[in-house]
Amino acid sequence: MDISNQLNRMDTQTKITLDDIIKKKLSPQQLREYNRIHYGQETLNELYIDEDITLKCKEKGIDIAGYNFPAAKEESRPPRRVKVGLIQHSIVLPTDKLVNEQRKAIFSKVSELIDIAASAGVQILCLQEAWSMPFFLCTGERKRWSDFAESATDGPSTKFLQKIAQKNKMVIISPILENDHGVWWNTAVVIDENGKYMGKHRKNHLPSVGSFSEIGYYEPGNMGHAVFDTTYGKIAVNICYGRHHALNWLMFGLNGAEIVFNPAATISEFGESFWGIEARNAAIANNYFTCSINRVGTEVFNVKKDEIREHNTMTVSRTYYGSSYITAPNGCRTPSLSRVKDGLLLGELDLNLCRQVKDRWGFNMTSRLDLYAKELAHIVQ
């Protein structure tokens, strides 16, 4: 099935999404049923967004949306509401410009997007996978791009975001290409609301699909399944391809995560039909919030002949379909952001919902982990 030439068919020109069309065509009653079946609730609980912000986004062509996931009132715990922000963005300059110029242009765009998120009160923000660079991992090239690989603790991306985090009292998850003493990793850095480096997580599962492989660039993560106990909630990061692995999601849950972010760089041919399923299923199975962020836009690379590559220059082009969304522990989800535009998705999440849903469904109570630990150990041998 060749999907590539049908990409963005619905909204490249008009920027109208499938949901926009369906919203117009269904009666209010039918729309409630559509929402119930496809988003888990009849009426989507939209978040109030200041008009100034909405106008600014409209001017700049940024897709902005926000949803509220409240929890029931409890006797002993006050509500634990946290506002999260998910940013999806395209690169800015052509990929044959200097690394520093490309990065600077992305920094400038992202800075503006985070400003908007801050004005909307975002407390935890997550950027897309390898947000500060074009996703050159599809080229098979290394040397030319090596300046994009940076230190997790004091590389340019971390330094840049630390100031912003501190200024806005915002926890920021920054997925970068890490260079740790010459060894590369696909890493998410967590910066706390005081701008301090809090820790990092390394991508646990690496794709090798068709001609695309990350295995030549770095190893699978060696840091397990960290959960970061931030001021605003317990968070974890499942980077991109890790979303295909139920056990990866499970471990974050068992380690106490209340929100798991899934920053990604994924194209239509690589399972767009999975996109709405996997992170949503993980939220249901583990009773935490999941926040799925995907790149957006087309990136074109002129891949050059080098010592290994025999062929002449060729063009590699990849189009990311955005569609970032949030799922609550009860399986309710937001609609997706645009498939083609930069975007900011806001979510006001009451983290009390995690335990409430756990208590309702009893998935943890009935998980029989001892059985599976034995069965898995047996299978591995």
Question: Which residues are marked as active site?
Answer: 129, 203, 240
> Could you tell me which of 214, 263, 264 has the C-alpha nearest to residue 236?
263
| Residue 369 in the binding site for its own copies (CB under 8 A) | yes
- The residue among 204 and 292 lying less far from its own copies, judged by its C-beta, is 204
Stretch that binds its own copies, among 57-65, 190-198, 232-240, 244-252 (CB under 8 A): 244-252
- The residue among 53 and 349 lying less far from its own copies, judged by its C-beta, is 349
| Helix H or strand E encompassing 163 | helix 156-168
| Alpha-carbon radius of gyration of the chain | 20
322: alpha, beta or left? (left if phi > 0; alpha if psi -120 to 50)? left
| Residue 36 in the binding site for its own copies (CB under 8 A) | yes
Question: Both tokens of residue 253?
Answer: 């849950």
Question: Binding its own copies by CB under 8 A: which of 80, 166, 207, 316?
Answer: 207
> Taking CB under 8 A as the criterion, which residues in 268-307 touch its own copies?
271-274, 276-278, 280-281, 284-285
| Residue 20 in the binding site for its own copies (CB under 8 A) | no
| Residue 144 in the binding site for its own copies (CB under 8 A) | no
> Taking CB under 8 A as the criterion, which residues in 112-131 touch its own copies?
none
Stretch that binds its own copies, among 35-43, 74-82, 114-122, 311-319 (CB under 8 A): 35-43
Which residue intervals of 85-144 are DSSP H helices? 99-119
Question: Binding its own copies by CB under 8 A: which of 209, 216, 229, 317?
Answer: 209
- The residue among 98 and 246 lying less far from its own copies, judged by its C-beta, is 246
Give the side-chain half-sphere CA count within 13 A for 3: 14
> Taking CB under 8 A as the criterion, which residues in 42-61 touch its own copies?
42
| Residue 108 in the binding site for its own copies (CB under 8 A) | no
| Residue 212 in the binding site for its own copies (CB under 8 A) | no
- The residue among 138 and 161 lying less far from its own copies, judged by its C-beta, is 138
| Residue 143 in the binding site for its own copies (CB under 8 A) | no
| Residue 247 in the binding site for its own copies (CB under 8 A) | yes
Amino acid identity at 319 = T
Secondary structure class of 199 (helix, strand, coil): strand
Cα 66 → chain centroid: 16
CB of 381 to its own copies, least distance (A): 9
Distance CA 252, CA 266 (A): 22
For 184-207, letters b (16+ CB in 10 Å) and e give bbbbbbbbbbebebbebbbbbbbb
CB of 277 to its own copies, least distance (A): 5
Question: Binding its own copies by CB under 8 A: which of 93, 99, 105, 254?
Answer: 254
| Residue 41 in the binding site for its own copies (CB under 8 A) | yes
Burial of 96 per CB tally in 10 Å (0-12, 13-18, 19+)? exposed
> Could you tell me which of 357, 354, 197, 193 has the C-alpha nearest to residue 260?
354
| Residue 257 in the binding site for its own copies (CB under 8 A) | no
Q: What is the DSSP letter of 267?
A: B
| Residue 368 in the binding site for its own copies (CB under 8 A) | yes
| Residue 223 in the binding site for its own copies (CB under 8 A) | no
